[in-house]
Amino acid sequence: MSELRPDTFRGRVAEGEVHLQFGAARDANTVDLQRDVVLPPLIALRLLSRLREAVRDAEQRAPIAPGDVVTQMGTTLLNAAPQEAGEQAALLFRLVDGLGAPYRHERSFRLAPGSLQSNRVLLSLGRSALGEDAAPRLAALAARLGLPAALAGSVAEHWSKARAVHFGFEADGARSRYKLYFERAAADEEARQAAAGTPVLLHLAWKWNPADPADCVTTHYHWLPRLDTAALRKRIERLYGDGAPLAAALAVLDLAVARIAPGKLQFLEVSEEGSPRLSFDVNLYDAGLAVRDAQGPLARLREHFAIRPGQYQALYDQVRALPLGHLAGGVHRDGAAFATLYYGVERRG
């Protein structure tokens, strides 16, 4: 057995295993790694216990200065500092996976003036998959994501009236938001009974910044059922005014209504308490379009919002073959126009 005498080390967890990496410091900033020991968590715990005993024994012979211990545990520069948004999104996935229920996974990208945001995901769970005891688990999950306490207390009440729940995440530069949507169970029946175009509350959503609980908004999604093409166009015109985003949205709408009756497109209007947000969201999945079918309108949106072509193309080429899901647009809470495309919903879990 060869003997290794490292003067530095680090421990990290990857893929559920504990990696102990040993090496020698070359200088203040560089470590030459010599061995990567991979342990299942149980063995790592046993090792920890044994190390404690060994250190205790060693200390009985000669004191170990705490300062030395800290120095030995210094970090290496091997990896870049993790991006916080990635860790936040990973937490959402881990918690939703932990519910043990199948869910739908959908990503989206948002175009706004000078900005393309694609680190956005929506995870949707139905009532039947979650079972009857879901309320406390959903409340605990939301609390773990930093949902303000004032809202966490009413999760059970909203869930009791919901047929599905949607957890979302989006990162916009340095700011992230988690989202929690309750999809009302009564909405289908209310829409059936309502006159065409009469708003029916479908989703109530909370969207919060985990780093700042005060930065939290409540969003309402009203379904306007059975709109014909003229009414759909008029609604979108009202929200977008004139210009390239309107033309692009109407072009995508035309693609959809060429394949499916307009009344079958679920059209929502979105508003937020205390913010200028006013927008639409139209569900296009049933039209059977792919993202690439909307290439022309999307290119016009890219140009209008002054997104760098290379950045946009890199993203577009990854998703062009996926089903086109929702188109959303209008005025965002910052007062600026935007367009969001949801795509490629898939079952997971």
Site residues for other proteins per CB under 8 A: 23, 30, 32-34, 36, 77-80, 82-83, 85-86, 89-90, 93-94, 102, 105, 107, 109, 116-119, 171, 310-311, 313-315, 317-321, 344, 346-349
In the three-class reduction of DSSP (H, G, I as helix; E, B as strand; rest coil), residue 190 is classed as helix
Give me the least distance between CB of 168 and other proteins, in Å please.
14
Nearer to other proteins, 107 or 207 (CB): 107
Query: Partners of 53 in the beta sheet?
Result: none
Cβ atoms 204, 181 nearer than 8 A: yes
Tokens linked to 140: 């605990």
Q: In the bound complex, what is the minimum distance in angstroms from residue 110's beta carbon to other proteins?
A: 9
CB of 123 to other proteins, least distance (A): 10
Q: Which is nearer to other proteins, 109 or 208 (CB)?
A: 109
Q: Between residues 107 and 137, which has the closer beta carbon with respect to other proteins?
A: 107
Buried b (16+ CB within 10 A) or exposed e, 77-109: eeeeeeeebeebbebbbebbeebebebbbbbbb
Closest approach of other proteins to the CB of residue 86, in Å = 3
**Among residues 223, 278, 287, 279, which one has the least CA distance to residue 252?**
287
The smaller minimum CB distance to other proteins, of residues 172 and 228, is found at 172
Shortest Cβ distance from residue 112 to other proteins (Å)?
12
Read off the amino acid at residue 335: G
Which of 310, 287, 312, 286 has the alpha carbon at shortest distance from 299? 312
Report in angstroms how near the CB of residue 334 gets to other proteins at its nearest: 17
Q: How far is the CB of 260 from other proteins (least distance, A)?
A: 25
Closer residue to other proteins in complex, CB, 110/207:
110
Residue with Cβ nearer other proteins (106 or 269): 106
Rank residues 9 and 280 by Cβ distance to other proteins and give the closer one: 9
Residue 317 to residues 143, 173, 278, 295, 301, Cα–Cα distance (Å): 37, 22, 30, 10, 16
Q: How far apart are CA 270 and CA 201, in angstroms?
A: 10
Q: How far apart are CA 344 and CA 324, in angstroms?
A: 7
